[in-house]
Every structure is written in structure tokens, then in C-alpha cells.
Amino acid sequence: MASSKICIVIAIAAVFAPSILATEFMIGDETGWTTNFDYQAWAYGKEFHVGDKLVFRYPPGVHNVVRVNGTGFEKCEAPAGTEALTTGEDTLTLTSPGKKWYICSMGNHCKSGNMRLTITVLAELGSPTASPSPSPVSAAVATGRTGLSGCGGWIAVAIAGIPGIVMV
């Protein structure tokens, strides 16, 4: 009985481990989100993963944060209907891999003040980089034929379920 409780705790820990591994990035470090700062140099060499958080700190009413596409980034323009973040302490969780673009849409802050950031988000740490296909373990769990017993079975099932949870 006690060993099955330990197995369940270990399985739960395996499921939540990726969120524990997430990194919080303060954009611009102590400088924050402001004009005349090289955000591309700041991002250079950093690895951003699904689950990580970006924190944009700036004086409210002076700047904002707008997520745009590549064209909006190049032109320093937010597409119509795009909602700006304006709290001065905006936290964004990276939810999918790929290119991400952010600008300040106040005045000419993006064009002449260089308030723009582009990053490439990688798959979550510990997850497969390719699109997940049902693993033999998750398929077996779905049919109830795992052939696994004891603590190892619980842990294998929990770990096999992580990519499905993350990639939704």
C-alpha cells in the first residue's frame, strides 16, 4: 500500500517536472523593456523553450508589448485588432515552438527606438522535437493492455503521457 502511494507521487512528479524546469526571462534584464536597447543582442545565446516565461517590465503608459507576426515585426506595425499588453509587468508563457515576435507600438518606439524582440522557441525540455505520435505505452494505456506492473509501470505511463499533455 505504501509503495503504491510512493509510485503515484513519483508519477505525479514526472508529469509536473517540465513546469518546474521552466525559466523566467526578464526581457532586457535590469534595463527592462525600453527604447535604445539591443534586444537581439540580449536574446543571443539564450535558449527559449515551451513553458518558459517572458517578463516585460516598463513604465505603464510609456510603453506596451504587442505580439506580432514576422511582417508586423519588420514593418513595426501591429495588425488591426491586435491587443497590446499595458500593465508594465507583463508575463507571457511560451506555449508553442517556433518564431515569436514582440514590439512596442507606442509612437516610433519600435522603428526608431529599437523596441522589438524576436526569438525562436524550442520544444519543451525533455519532450520530443518531432510531432508526437502515439507511443506504444500510451496506446497500451488507452486499450488497458500495458503489461506494466508496479512502480515502474506508473512512472512509464506518467512520462509517456507528458508529450500528449504538453503538445495539446
The CATH number of residue 110's host domain is 2.60.40.420
Strand locations in 48-115 (E): 48-49, 53-57, 66-68, 89-93, 98-103
Give the bridge partners for 119, in sequence order. Answer: 100
Domain range enclosing 98: 24-122
For residue 126, name the pLDDT band (cuts at 50, 70, 90). Answer: confident
Mean pLDDT for the chain overall:
78
37 within a domain of the structure (yes/no): yes
Arithmetic mean of pLDDT, 145-167: 45
For residue 152, name the pLDDT band (cuts at 50, 70, 90). Answer: low
The pLDDT tens digits of the residues spanning 29-62 come to 999 999 999 999 999 999 999 999 999 999 999 9
70 within a domain of the structure (yes/no): yes
Between 154 and 120, the more confident residue is: 120
128 within a domain of the structure (yes/no): no
Q: What is the dihedral of CA 26, 104, 116, 130, to 10 degrees?
A: 70
Taking Cα atoms as reference points, which of 18, 16, 31 lies closest to residue 125?
Answer: 18
10 within a domain of the structure (yes/no): no
What is the total residue count of the chain? Answer: 168
14 within a domain of the structure (yes/no): no
Q: How many domains does the chain have?
A: 1
pLDDT at position 141 over 60: no
Whether the model clears a pTM of 0.85, i.e. scores above it, the answer is no
The pLDDT tens digits of the residues spanning 71-121 come to 999 999 999 999 999 999 999 999 999 999 999 999 999 999 999 999 999
